[in-house]
Amino acid sequence: MVRAVSADEVAPTRHAWPIEAAGLSVKAGRHLAVDGLDIRLGTGVHGLLGPNGAGKSTLMRALATVVRPHRGRLVLLGADATAGRALRPVRARLGYLPQQFGFYPRFTVRDAVEYMAWLREMPPAAVPAAAQQAIDRVRLTDRADAKLKSLSGGMLRRAGIAQAIVNEPELLLLDEPTVGLDPEQRVEFRELMRELGADSCVLVSTHLVEDVVAACSDVILMDQGRLVFQGVPADLVRHGETGGVGDSAAERGYSVLLHRHRGAA
Ligand SMILES: Nc1ncnc2c1ncn2[C@@H]1O[C@H](COP(=O)(O)OP(=O)(O)OP(=O)(O)O)[C@@H](O)[C@H]1O
């Protein structure tokens, strides 16, 4: 007997634009926190910058399919993320570190990472090795069986990164992953981001402009829910060569672009 093959089974698994948003608006409570955003992101590490309240975390939540967009088009890994039934296969292929990483304090690092692997519908036989690899990649090998409640803030953040990467996601969303990391760990983390971005789409929100310059292939700058700038880190640096406020050319570029946008708004 010939088995019918569904469209999902023959669909290509890689997409030129793992994230495609057009006129995307997302509410946070009753507030329109993302307001008509147009972006297309491919493979690589994309740094998401913006002042407090710019809408970065709200955008991340929509991309992680945690909140439904209010308006506009959102296509994730080729699937319409505004259609409920399309979300399950997308969720299995994405990884997400929320800004507030909620966890069961009695779980060990290994429990938390394995639990996320299960939520991401990984084949059960693959889970222990995948969890171990994710824990090793964030350098928590010697704390793998420690309870989460016993970890420092930086270690907890690294456990959060491990749970986000356990399924080797094609789309990885990291909301302020470097908060609490010490300088040495931040340098190691940049290395890990570059590795992950070689064949996945990684979006990293941060307030550290230097992290973006060091580890990202492009920069997205948001303010008040809108896109201010998208370009390569060198463009950010170039904008800072003529003025602005900050300790480095990249920080000055950030302030120049933001002030120019606010002046024009
Ligand atoms: N539950 C909520 N109800 C009402 N407004 C909210 C809610 N959550 C967020 N907001 C508002 O939405 C806007 C965007 O918030 P969001 O957390 O996405 O910004 P952000 O860029 O991540 O900020 P930060 O850098 O401080 O983390 C802010 O003005 C915030 O006050």
Q: SS3 sequence, the chain? A: CCCCCCHHHHCCCCCCCCEEEEEEEEEECCEEEEEEEEEEECCEEEEEECCCCCCHHHHHHHHCCCCCCCEEEEEECCEECCCHHHHHHHHHCEEEECCCCCCCCCCEHHHHHHHHHHHCCCCHHHHHHHHHHHHHHCCCHHHCCCEHHHCCHHHHHHHHHHHHHCCCCCEEEEECCCCCCCHHHHHHHHHHHHHHCCCCEEEEECCCHHHHHHHCCEEEEEECCEEEEEECHHHHHHHCCCCCCCCCHHHHHHHHHHHHHHHHC
Cα of 31 from ligand 1 centre, angstroms: 8
50 CB under 6 A from ligand 1? Answer: yes
CA-wise closest residue to 45 among 229, 199, 235: 199
For residue 51, the ligand 1 atom closest to its alpha carbon is: 25
Count the Cβ atoms, other than its own, within 10 Å of residue 231.
15
Pocket test residue of 49, 52, 100, 101 for ligand 1, highest count of atoms within 8 A of CB: 52
**pLDDT per residue as tens digits for the range 243-264:** 888 999 999 999 999 999 888 7
- Does residue 103 or residue 190 have the better pLDDT? 190
> ipTM of this complex > 0.90?
yes
Residue type, 130: A
Share of the chain above pLDDT 70, in %: 94
Q: How far is the CA of 56 from the centre of ligand 1 (A)?
A: 8
Q: How far is the CA of 195 from the centre of ligand 1 (A)?
A: 30
pLDDT at 265: 67
**Which residues partner with 173 through β-bridges?**
96, 203
- At 3, the pLDDT band (50, 70, 90 cuts) reads low
Q: What is the pLDDT of residues 7-61, one digit of tens each?
A: 554 454 567 899 999 999 999 999 999 999 999 999 999 999 999 999 999 999 9
More confident residue, 188 or 59: 59
**What is the 26 CA–ligand 1 centroid distance (Å)?**
11
The model's pLDDT over 136-161, given as tens digits with 9 standing for 90+, comes to: 999 999 999 999 999 998 899 999 99
How far away, in angstroms, is 261 Cα from ligand 1 center? 20
Mutate to test the pocket of ligand 1, among 25, 31, 37 (most ligand atoms within 8 A of CB): 31
The overall average pLDDT reported for the chain is: 91
Q: What is the pTM of this model?
A: 0.92
Instruction: Supply the angle between the helices 153-165 and 109-119 in degrees, to the nearest 10.
Output: 30
